[in-house]
Structure 1
Amino acid sequence: MRFRHPDGSPVHLGYCSNVHQAEDLDGVIGQLAAYAEPVRERLGVDRLGIGLWLARDTVTRLVDDEDEVKRLKGELAARGLETVTLNAFPYAGFHREVVKKDVYLPDWADEARLRHTLDCARVLAALLPDDIARGSVSTLPLAWRTPWPPDRAETARRALDRLAAGLAAIESDTGRRVRVGFEPEPGCVVETTAQAVRELRGLDPDRLGVCLDACHLAVQFEDPGAALARLADAGLAVVKLQASCAVEATDPADPAARAALRRLAEPRFLHQTRTASAPEAPVHAVDDLPDALDGGLPTGTGPWRVHFHAPLHADPEPPLRTTADQLTAVLAGLLGGTSVHCDHIEVETYTWSVLPEPPADLAGGIAAELAWARDRLTGLGLKEDHQ
């Protein structure tokens, strides 16, 4: 969906296709028909944004065959869909039985990560709607935090300079600018906005910035206003916002809360868990929810927040709640003022299949999330831009 900010700028809202289990091109196209088009129809809109996740083999196929890119773009258009952003964080195998830390491989010290990201940018430049000049690609925050010796950190830094040069070359070749956003995530080399400033300051500000994930921001107990100000002061653009909510246990010692959390401790994805006494206060951390529940995290220092992307519009099992108020504050900070500070918004709830009770109607759930986000945007004064 497209919106128009009061300052006249366009703002794009869509959802991320990494929720769908498709890793080849035919599978991706099949999911457009099975889910994305029905989501658009549920919302009653003529045009819906979808942020594509394309596994490595699919990206290779698209880069090698221009006709396949045209085929994908044609399928998007035929179903009333458009793509302005790609999620290049997962490389492949995102729906294996166990993903966990493998999602951070290859990292930015590996040549494969640079090649994949530039290939994604080139594919996106070809997929962009004709009236859109700029796209975005999100990627991992350099690497998982260990092992990260100085030589790998230096290799990654050089790769980022090459990334900026490669994006400039794509713009020269195609006339379409693609920006890459590094996504701070708990447990990684860059897990907070302060670390993003430390690691990314001084890079090409026109092409490299931050993909801000509202769930991750909440898990790290970052205050939204302070985080956005920190990035702005450093000259780091919010290239893309992933509209997402974490799960919070207000009283992690409550047996009912612990039982509900235990039902979220599934084996596929990593669910980093944090506690702090207040926003911006020192954070106690463990790398996965089972570790927290088995005694690795204190229960007397404040609420627990869990890296489990919860549906935006729905409450989890009581007494758990979500951090939807944090997401609302991020949206207000980026879009509630006199000018736009982020124009690509992607709902990224990839965890529907690992909920304790997965929905029978996935398209309906995604549509409800997008309706929730649409209501927040219109509440900030944006107008839906109908085709």
Structure 2
Amino acid sequence: MKLANSHISYCSNIHPGEAWPDHFQELKKHLPKIKAAVSPDQNFGLGLRLSAQAAEDLKDPQKLLEFKIWLKDNGIYVFTMNGFPYGDFHIKEVKDQVHAPDWTSAERFQYTKTLFDLLNELLENGQEGGISTSPLSYRFWFEDKSQAWKSKRDLCTKNILLIAEYLFQKEVSTGKYMHLDIEPEPDGMLEDSQEFIEWYSEELIPMAISYFQEKEKLDADQAKAIINRYICLCYDVCHFALEYEDHEKCMAKLEELKIKIGKFQVSSALKVKLSEDSETRENQKNKLKEFNEPIYLHQVIAKDSTGNLIKYKDLPDALNDSNDSTHVEWRSHFHVPIFLESYGKLDSTQEDILKVVRLHNEKQRTNHIEVETYTWGVLPKTLQVPIEESISREINWLVEKIKS
């Protein structure tokens, strides 16, 4: 749906189906009910997630036409896509393989181009489109700061640069503006705003200047303008909350550097203020164990009494650390429902969402806002309700906060 100048929706990665017929069946089952609950009187936008297999399926002209007709008949439109998870996202263990194949690979590059080709077909005339993607790679696949690390980063950066060139050519030939939105997350090769900004300013921009000067005879300002237009940040509120980011300072820095936010992904992490009482503290950890499931990574970032951050690759690593007496807070990567502030002994980072909404209301930062709570199926049973009801409640809660 559209609220003022913002398109607001949810990401379809919550629905299973790696082959297009299976995913389309899920969309047909759930989307009309969600639209009726949140946007009965106007068209409803969708954040579409396609696996590589589904994207290849949808390249078939007949399948694509069928989808476009269904969208039009149901008052639904696609304005953003999630190109982060390449393969299976529901059935088996995902963990760090959510980054595979990474941006060093021809597979990731071609998959992203295919998504942009499809989005170009699905976008309405005059509609801006964006696709979020992996923060280059998973940092623990390489020895940090080694020569191999640098070579891999350079290759990732070159492939991102080539996507920018592709999108520039697309806009020239079709008139449709689309951008790639890099999504930092804990343990990604780019895991927070500082790492993203440093990569963007010190690696991507210089490489682009050299590339476009040599190939197209463009000057430095022209090359930088191409990158600023087509390579943006996917501002995942859950991920930034996990890193204890200062949202106001972060957005001010992005604005100063003319780095655009392509999309807000609105989601909450788990948060627990650790008690000094040993028994209460143990009860808090036991409650957190209920969220320990085997499919996704649930990184934990702790803050100690001096403000230092201590990082764990997954929830079990944190739970098994008996030397955490100085920790005052834990935040865990688990996209929990955004309309809930607390879960008994545990809290969420909902406050970060409210801060981001306030900043957006003060000054619009992006046209694309997407709720991304994809863990309904692995939540504790006490928190699971019918999927249409869950998604509708999420969107309606967010819309009310944006309006207020």
- Say yes or no: TM over 0.5: yes
Separation (CA, whole Å) in 2 of partners of 1:343 and 1:127: 17
Counterpart residue type for residue 361 of structure 1: P
Q: SS in structure 1 opposite 2:228?
A: coil
Contact residue 274 and residue 327 of structure 2 kept, 8 A: no
Q: CA deviation at 1:348?
A: 0.3
Separation (CA, whole Å) in 1 of partners of 2:2 and 2:341: 27
Separation (CA, whole Å) in 2 of partners of 1:323 and 1:77: 36
Structure 1 residue 306 corresponds to structure 2 residue 332: yes
Match of 1:342? Answer: 366
**4+ long deviations beyond 3 Å:** none
1:302-321 Cα distance to aligned partner (Å, 9 max, x none): 21000000101124531101
Counterpart residue type for residue 18 of structure 2: E
Match of 1:119? Answer: 114
1:99-138 Cα distance to aligned partner (Å, 9 max, x none): 10110001111111111111111111111123x4310000
Q: CA deviation at 1:60?
A: 1.4
Contact residue 277 and residue 302 of structure 1 kept, 8 A: yes
Counterpart residue type for residue 118 of structure 2: V
Separation (CA, whole Å) in 1 of partners of 2:180 and 2:67: 22
Q: SS in structure 2 opposite 1:184?
A: coil
Q: How many residues align?
A: 369
1:47-67 Cα distance to aligned partner (Å, 9 max, x none): 22210100101111223x233
1:173-206 Cα distance to aligned partner (Å, 9 max, x none): 3221110100010011111100010112226000
Q: CA deviation at 1:277?
A: 4.4
Contact residue 33 and residue 79 of structure 1 kept, 8 A: no
Which aligned pairs between 1:122-201 and structure 2 lie closer than 5 A? 122-130=117-125, 132-148=126-142, 149-201=149-201
Counterpart residue type for residue 16 of structure 1: C
Which aligned pairs between 1:27-66 and structure 2 lie closer than 5 A? 27-46=22-41, 47-63=43-59, 65-66=60-61
Give the direction of change, closer, same or farther, for the CA distance of 1:262–1:170 in structure 2 (3 Å limit): same
Contact residue 22 and residue 31 of structure 1 kept, 8 A: yes
Structure 1 residue 293 corresponds to structure 2 residue 319: yes
Separation (CA, whole Å) in 1 of partners of 2:81 and 2:392: 20
Contact residue 305 and residue 327 of structure 2 kept, 8 A: no
Structure 1 residue 98 corresponds to structure 2 residue 97: no
- With normalisation by structure 1, the TM-score equals 0.91
Give the direction of change, closer, same or farther, for the CA distance of 1:368–1:303 in structure 2 (3 Å limit): same
Give the direction of change, closer, same or farther, for the CA distance of 1:159–1:362 in structure 2 (3 Å limit): same
Q: CA deviation at 1:146?
A: 2.4
Contact residue 214 and residue 244 of structure 1 kept, 8 A: yes
Provide the identity percentage: 28
Match of 2:288? Answer: 261
Counterpart residue type for residue 52 of structure 1: L
When you count helix as a share of all residues, which structure comes out higher?
Answer: 2
Which aligned pairs between 1:277-292 and structure 2 lie closer than 5 A? 277=304, 281-292=307-318
User: Which of the residues 355, 363, 366 maps onto 2:391?
Assistant: 366
Contact residue 89 and residue 103 of structure 1 kept, 8 A: yes
Counterpart residue type for residue 256 of structure 1: N
Q: SS in structure 2 opposite 1:247?
A: strand
Give the direction of change, closer, same or farther, for the CA distance of 1:135–1:297 in structure 2 (3 Å limit): farther
Q: CA deviation at 1:39?
A: 1.0
Give the direction of change, closer, same or farther, for the CA distance of 1:296–1:184 in structure 2 (3 Å limit): farther
Give the direction of change, closer, same or farther, for the CA distance of 1:99–1:313 in structure 2 (3 Å limit): same
Separation (CA, whole Å) in 2 of partners of 1:316 and 1:88: 30
Give the direction of change, closer, same or farther, for the CA distance of 1:138–1:11 in structure 2 (3 Å limit): same
User: Which of the residues 373, 379, 386 maps onto 1:355?
Assistant: 379
What RMSD in Å do the two structures reach over aligned CA positions?
Answer: 1.7
Q: Which runs of 5+ in 1 are unaligned?
A: 5-9, 380-387
Q: CA deviation at 1:209?
A: 1.0
Separation (CA, whole Å) in 1 of partners of 2:369 and 2:39: 19
Q: CA deviation at 1:300?
A: 2.4
- With normalisation by structure 2, the TM-score equals 0.87
Contact residue 285 and residue 297 of structure 1 kept, 8 A: no
Q: CA deviation at 1:28?
A: 2.2
Structure 1 residue 16 corresponds to structure 2 residue 11: yes
> Which is bigger in relative contact order (C-alpha 8 A, separation at least 6)?
1
Q: SS in structure 2 opposite 1:84?
A: strand
Q: CA deviation at 1:152?
A: 1.1
